[in-house]
Amino acid sequence: MGLFSKHECEECRARFKSYDELVSHAQQAHKRHVVKCASCGKLFLHEKDRLHHVKEEKEHKVDERRHRF
Ligand SMILES: [Zn+2]
Ligand SMILES: [Zn+2]
């Protein structure tokens, strides 16, 4: 697994430095359907990626709350 393998386009194998770049490439070059996080607006190629993000976001919010009080 190389450094950029995480952000490789499934359609044309182009590689990107960030997931966001990959998502916008897939949207523009391949007209891919993307899913959006309802709380922060971040875009994802797969529903499972979005669910993973939502889970992390929730955990992060719980951590913030813990620090605050
Ligand atoms: Zn591509
Ligand atoms: Zn989010």
The CA 66 to ligand 1 mean position distance, Å, reads 41
User: Residue 14: which domain range?
Assistant: 5-68
What Cα–Cα distance (Å) separates residue 37 from each residue in 2, 50, 52? 28, 6, 11
Give the pLDDT confidence score for residue 1 in this predicted structure: 45
Distance 37 CA to ligand 2 centre (A): 5
Which ligand does the CA of 36 lie closest to? Answer: 2
Query: Based on the structure, what is the number of domains in the chain?
Result: 1
Residue 65 Cα to ligand 1 midpoint, Å, equals 40
Task: Report the pLDDT value the prediction gives residue 61, as an integer from 0 to 100.
Answer: 81
Looking at the CA of 12, which ligand is closest?
A: 1
Query: Once rounded to an integer, what is the mean pLDDT over residues 23-48?
Result: 96
We report the CATH number of the domain holding residue 45 as 3.30.160
For CA atoms 48, 45, 41, 18, give the dihedral sign.
positive
| Nearest ligand (C-alpha, residue 57) | 2
Q: Hey, CA dihedral for 19, 24, 25, 26, is it positive or negative?
A: positive
Q: How far apart are CA 12 and CA 26, in angstroms?
A: 9
Query: What is the share, in percent, of the chain residues with pLDDT greater than 90?
Result: 77
